[in-house]
Copies of this chain bind each other. A is one copy, B any other.
Amino acid sequence: MLKATIDADILKESIDAISALVTECRLHTDENGISTRAVDTANVAMVSLSLKKEAFSSFESTKSELGLDIAKLKNIFGMMGKNEPISLELPDNGQKLRVSFEGYRYSITLLDPNTIRKDPNPPSIDLPGRVVLSGADLYNSIKAAAVVSDKIALGIDPAQQIFYMAAEGDTDHIRKEFGKNEVTFLKNVEARSLFSLDYLKDMGKVMSRAEEVEISIGIDHPVKFAFYIAGGKGYVEYLLAPRIEAD
């Protein structure tokens, strides 16, 4: 059983964060809120999202697992007004999630959770470098890199206290450096890894709304992006595997 009301903007923000990587997911609900964890089909990226019950204007739920077709749910976002209250309702053992707003009653058949990939276990990895920067700055760098290449290097130069991104095209390359004024260095440790921009562009768009994104990074290791959504009442982590630097 689920019976909740949520602001349209928070719902969209949360669903967008998941849909950057997957089109369906297992959504866990209990009396404290909802959460999900999913990896993309290529096993390259993982998203974890949790939304406390405080992120909802009203929330009541038993412990359950829902198979959610995210792509279908996104279809109706265009109909929702900004800041409109959206009501979500699922009866006990119900197979259809009812989404109501503004005289509309949208009903979506849930997927059998068993047909969706099991929740992945987060890998235990040590990512020694850690910086915090604005999501907008991060996304702008990603977009800039995408102009010349399909890969981006992210790194920390501890001697110069610089967090940088760099991308190499065939005949041109681009580099952007962030100094102490733009970045908070939680752990100023040497790091550099290469990532696919395909993934980063989608994640970056979501992160661009976050005031602060905490980036954990190593040497030829995955990168972790962590940020709050829903005014601090929701939390998202992205984990992205590195690409091998071939040259």
If A108-B172, A172-B107, A174-B105 touch, does A144 touch B79 (CB 8 Å cutoff)? yes
Q: Are A108 and B171 in contact (CB under 8 A)?
A: yes
Of B75, B147, B172, which contacts A78 at CB under 8 A?
B147
**A72: interface (CB < 8 Å):** yes
| Chain B residues with CB under 8 A of A140 | 79
Q: Are A106 and B177 in contact (CB under 8 A)?
A: no
Q: Are A147 and B103 in contact (CB under 8 A)?
A: no
| Chain B residues with CB under 8 A of A173 | 106-107
Of B75, B78, B105, B174, which contacts A176 at CB under 8 A?
B105
**A82: interface (CB < 8 Å):** no
Closest CB in chain B relative to A133 CB, distance in Å = 12
Among residues 99 to 122 in chain A, which have CB atoms less than 8 Å away from a CB atom of chain B?
Answer: 103-109
Among residues 68 to 113 in chain A, which have CB atoms less than 8 Å away from a CB atom of chain B?
Answer: 69, 72, 75-76, 78-79, 103-109
Of B69, B171, B175, B176, which contacts A171 at CB under 8 A?
B69
| Chain B residues with CB under 8 A of A148 | 75-76, 106
In the complex, what distance in Å separates the CA atom of A72 from the CA atom of B170?
10
Copies in the assembly, this chain: 3
**A178: interface (CB < 8 Å):** yes
* Interface size class, chain A: 20 to 34
**A143: interface (CB < 8 Å):** yes
Q: Are B178 and A76 in contact (CB under 8 A)?
A: no
In the complex, what distance in Å separates the CA atom of A86 from the CA atom of B174?
14
Closest CB in chain B relative to A97 CB, distance in Å = 9
| Chain B residues with CB under 8 A of A174 | 76, 104-107
In the complex, what distance in Å separates the CA atom of A101 from the CA atom of B69?
43
In the complex, what distance in Å separates the CA atom of A79 from the CA atom of B144?
7
Closest CB in chain B relative to A201 CB, distance in Å = 14
In the complex formed, the residue of B with least CB distance to A105 is B175
In the complex, what distance in Å separates the CA atom of A174 from the CA atom of B108?
9
Among residues 145 to 181 in chain A, which have CB atoms less than 8 Å away from a CB atom of chain B?
Answer: 147-148, 169, 171-178
18 contacting pairs across A/B (C-beta < 8 A): A69-B172, A75-B172, A76-B144, A76-B147, A76-B148, A76-B174, A78-B143, A78-B147, A79-B140, A103-B177, A104-B175, A105-B177, A106-B173, A106-B174, A107-B172, A108-B172, A109-B171, A109-B172
